[in-house]
A and B are shown apart, each in its own frame.
Chain A
C-alpha cells in the first residue's frame, strides 16, 4: 500500500474539525493561572543563572557575585511591580484583549504599533527557543549522558510542540495545570527547605574544590556599573511573558477583567517571591555557572542537589517540573504568535495566509513558521540558553514600553475620573521599561542584542511593503463610478500537434466559446507533416483556420509564445484564450506527456489578457 501525503497528514494532525465546532470555552482563575503564567513563571528557571554568569564569568568579580545577587533581584522585583501595575490598567481598558500591538495601534498610530508587533513576534520566537533550550538543559543536568544530544533534543521537542499545536491542543487547562503547579510547588519546597537547612541546620555552600570552580571564584575585579547593568538586564528576562494575561482577557470567565486582573496579581506574586527566594538561596548555596559552558549543570539543578542532599527523587521531580513548565512556556508562544500574526495579517501588514485556519481550527501557517524559526535559532546557537538570552528581552521591553506609553496617551485622551494617577503609573512604567530596553540594547549589543535591533526594523519594512502591495491591489480592483467591464474581441487559439480524437474534442470545445476568431496553431517539422495535417483537417471537416509554422530555432515554447504575441498584436484590446489539449493518464506515466504543454502554460500564466484552458483527455 502506498501512503499518500494526505493520509500521512491525517495521521500526524488528526481528522479535520468543522468550523462550527469552534467552541469557545472560558477559563476559571485556577486554570487561567497555569495557562497564562507558565511563560512568565518559567523564566525563574534561568534568570538567576543568567545573572550569575555575568558576574562570575564576564565581570570576573569572584565571591562578590553572591553579594550582588539579592540587590539585583530586588530591582527586578521592583520592575515587575511597576509593569504589572501598569498592565492591570490595560486589562480593564481592553477587555477584548490588549496586546502591545493592539494598544499601540489604537493609541499611538501605525509605526509604533508595527514596532510593537515586530518586537512581540521576534520575542515569541525567542520564547520558544529559550524555553526549549532551558527545558532541555534541565533534562541534561539530570541525565548527563544526554549532553551531546542537546541540539537534537531541542529540535525534537520543538517538532513535538509544533505538531501538538497543529493538532490543536490550544490552551487546554487539563494539560497545563499539573506541570505549572508542580513547578510552583517544587520551587517553593526547594526555597523553603533550602533556607531552613541553611539557617537552622548549617547547610553550607556547594563544594568549590575543583580547579575550574577555583578559577571562576578567583576573579578579583571590582564590579563596574556596566557589568551591574548587564547582570540586571539578564535578570530582567524574568519579566518575559507577563503580557500574556493582558492579551488573553476574553478567555477568562465573567467578569473577565476582574478575574484577569486577579490572575495577573497572583502570577506577579508567585514570580516575584520565587525569583527573590531563589536569589537568596543562591546567595547562600553559591552555585556556579560560566560563560563558556564548562559547567554543564544548571544553577537550579546544582541547588536542588545540594539542598536535597544528592540526586534523589526530590531532585528529579524538580528537574522534570522545570522541564515541564518550560515546554509549556514554549507552548504559550505557539498560542500567541499565530494569534498576533493573524491580527497583523488582518490589518494587511502580513501575508493573508497567516489568517488561514488549518484542519484543526488553528492558524497552521503561523505555527509552522514559528516552529521553523525557533528551530533554526536553536541550531544556530547550539541550544545554549546563555547565547540566546541577549537576543531576548529587547523585544519584550520594547513591547512593554509601547503598550504603556499607549495607555498613557489613552488616559490623557479619555480623562476618566482619577486618570492622573493611572496616567502617572503608566508613565512611570513606560519610562522604566524604555530605560531597561535601552540598557539591554546598549550593554548587550555585541553579545547579540544587535540581532533584534536589526531584525525588528527589517520586519517593519516587510510589514510596510506587504501593506503597500495590498493597498495597491485594492485600489486597482476598486470599481469606479460608472465602470462597465468592456466587451473585448475574443480570439481562441487551439494548439494542435496532430489531428487526433483529443484535438477534435478541443476544437469543438473552442467553438463552443463562440470566439470572434478561431485559429488552430501547429508547429510542423516537415512538409510531409504539414501535408498530412492539412489533409486530415479537411477530412474531418474542420472549419477553423489552420496556421502552420516551423520551429526555426528548435525552441517550441518560445516559438509558440512569439506567435501568440503576434496574433495578439493583430487586434488591440482583445482577449486571447489558448486551448491546450492535454492527456491525463495515471500519475506514473504522466511524465511521458505534456512536458511542452506544461512549459507553455507556465509561461502564459502571467500574460496579460490571456486565458489558458486545458482540455483534459482522460485516457482510461
Chain B
C-alpha cells in the first residue's frame, strides 16, 4: 500500500470503504453489476441488503429492500408482504427480474430471489 492510498484510506468516508468491501465480496459471483444493469432486460443482480422499508398502502403492505453490490444500489419491491423470512439487514440476496429506472433509482418488482447468506 503506497502512501497515497494509505492517505486515501484515512480520508475516505465510511461509504467508500463499504463500497470497496462490497465489490470485493461480489467479485466471486458472475452477476451483472448493478451500475451496468440494462432497463427492461431480464437480469440477475445481487447485493447486500442495506435498508428495508415497510410501506403500508391502503391496507396492503409492501416490503422494499435496497441492495448494494458496491457499484450501485437497486430497490427490490415485494408487494403484498410485510415480512420475508431470512431477508434481513446485512444478508446477501440474488434477485432475478426485470429492472426499470424510476427517477435515479434501479427498481425491480417481485423478482425471484435466492438467499446467498
Contact = CB atoms under 8 A, between A and B. Distances in A.
Interface stretch (B3-11, B25-33, B53-61, B106-114): B53-61
A552 B14 contact: yes
B14 A553 contact: yes
B82 interface: yes
A570 interface: yes
Contacts of B54: 534, 537-538, 545-546, 548
Contact of A547 (B53, B82, B103): B53
Contacts of B90: 550, 552
A70 B16 CA distance: 81
B18 interface: yes
14 contacts: A524-B89, A534-B83, A538-B54, A538-B61, A538-B82, A543-B56, A547-B52, A548-B53, A548-B54, A550-B89, A552-B18, A562-B14, A562-B15, A570-B104
Contact of B50 (A524, A531, A549, A555): A549
Interface residues of B, number: 18
Contacts of B15: 562
Contacts of B53: 545-548
Contact of A545 (B55, B83, B104): B55
Contacts of B40: none
Interface string B35-69: 00000000000000011111110000100000000
B69 to A, nearest CB: 15
Contacts of B61: 538
Contacts of B83: 531, 534
A555 B56 contact: no
Contacts of A553: 14, 18
B17 to A, nearest CB: 8
Contact of A548 (B14, B51, B82): B51
A377 B90 CA distance: 62
Nearest to B91: A527
B33 to A, nearest CB: 20
Interface of B: 14-15, 18, 50-56, 61, 82-83, 88-90, 103-104
Given A545-B53, A548-B51, A549-B51, A558 B82 contact: no
Given A546-B53, A547-B52, 8 more contacts: A531-B83, A538-B82, A548-B89, A549-B50, A549-B51, A552-B14, A555-B14, A570-B104
Contacts of A534: 54, 82-83
A527 B51 contact: no
Given A534-B83, A548-B51, A527 B14 contact: no
Nearest to A534: B54
Contacts, number: 50
Contacts of A530: 52, 88-89
A132 B104 CA distance: 71
Given A530-B52, A531-B83, A549-B50, A558 B89 contact: no
Contacts of A524: 89
Nearest to A544: B56
Contacts of A527: 88-89
A524 B51 CA distance: 10
Nearest to B17: A553
Given A534-B83, A538-B61, A570-B103, A545 B89 contact: no
B49 to A, nearest CB: 9
A534 B104 CA distance: 27
A562 B18 CA distance: 13
Given A524-B89, A527-B88, A555-B14, A548 B103 contact: no
Contacts of B18: 552-553
Nearest to A542: B56
